[in-house]
Structure 1
Amino acid sequence: MPEQPTTLEVKILDKEYLVACPANQQKALMDAASHLDKKMREIRTSGKVFGTERIAVMAALNITHDMLHQDTMSDAASDLLKTMSDKLGAALGDADS
């Protein structure tokens, strides 16, 4: 029988989120939330990006960029993430004009 997920509370940029997570993955989720929180705080502190949504997108782009350069993904996954990153960057750039 598969393990039932439990609800875990994570805090990112001073906001609490409830996330369903299997018990054996809770540490990984907490580590991921902590990493995202750190990246979002770095971006917010820079003062160049305003708004939680934009900060989250920029953090996602930065984390994706880091992953792409670690050679830990397949070429297909890397290509897909690069394409998505380029589109998000272009969309955010157009929105600021």
Structure 2
Amino acid sequence: MIVEKLKDLAPVPLAAPESRQLLAARKRVIWAGGALAVLVGFFPILHALAGVYAVAAVVAAGVFAAIQVPIWARAKNAADDEYLFRDRGGDDAQD
């Protein structure tokens, strides 16, 4: 019930059916963003507890997110293009 409400509030507009790889990549992006938000939000507490390791954790989460988002976006766009333009392949090849 809660999941359905969340899907209505924040739908992911995938034109193509979502494959297991795209789902896994999307979940990695969501978790990376969530982890980064939590680390930044609780940074003063984490810094007091872990010192320089808190900085390393924030940097690591930021780098991970910076790498994963373009990978997911590229894979998503490629899957969407392949799905949306699947009927046009034959027309262009004959010209």
**Structure having the higher Rg:** 2
Structure having greater relative contact order (Cα 8 Å, sep ≥ 6): 2
What is the TM-score normalised by the length of structure 1? 0.44
| Bigger helix share | 2
TM-score (norm 2): 0.45
Structure with greater strand percent: 1
